[in-house]
Amino acid sequence: MNTLRQCLPACCAVALGTLLAACHQGPAVPSIPSTKLMAIDTPPPAYPPELACDEIGGQVVLLMSIGPDGRPKDVRTAQSSRVQALDQAAHEAVRHWRFQPATRGGQPVTTTLQVPVNFKPPVMRPDSCFVLDEQRKREG
């Protein structure tokens, strides 16, 4: 019994210390998972008609910064198609794209994204090309 009396204060001190330490850790905060950037509205760019008629295609690779509002903030050419009209059409199109922003800790964040924009000439030549051909004959 003496041993119990001697041990009891030490055991109480350890238990009290553990309880106090747990109280100072604060309430448990649930972890909010991060989410990835998701495309909402990304229509293909308008194909410059004269290039489609001439069967000129290419790929433009753009480096984009998508802001917390889901809109492109900065758009740069990472790789040109070597056709200025295609590069321009790609830039113009992606400026209007919309995304659901990525999040961290439940808050939207800016995300960098690399996007290839492909221009493939139509398989069948559009009827509008014949009008363009006639205009070119008259001009040249």
Average pLDDT of the chain? 84
Structure tokens at 83: 């056709």
Least confident of 17-21, 46-50, 87-91, 123-127: 17-21
Whether 42 has a pLDDT exceeding 90, the answer reads: yes
Stretch 45-49: mean pLDDT? 91
- Say if residue 59's pLDDT is above 70: yes
CATH number, domain 38-120+131-139: 3.30.2420.10
Q: Tell me: the pLDDT tens digits for 67-96?
A: 999 999 999 999 999 999 999 999 999 999
Of 127, 94, 140, the C-alpha closest to 113 is 94
Residue-level pLDDT at 21: 53
CA angle 40, 42, 46 (to 5 degrees): 160
Compute the radius of gyration of the chain from its Cα atoms: 31
**So what's the pLDDT on residue 120?**
92
Per-residue pLDDT tens over the stretch 115-135: 999 999 888 887 888 877 788
Q: Which residues pair with 77 in a beta bridge?
A: 62
More confident residue, 125 or 25: 125
The confidence band for 139, taking pLDDT boundaries of 50, 70 and 90, is confident
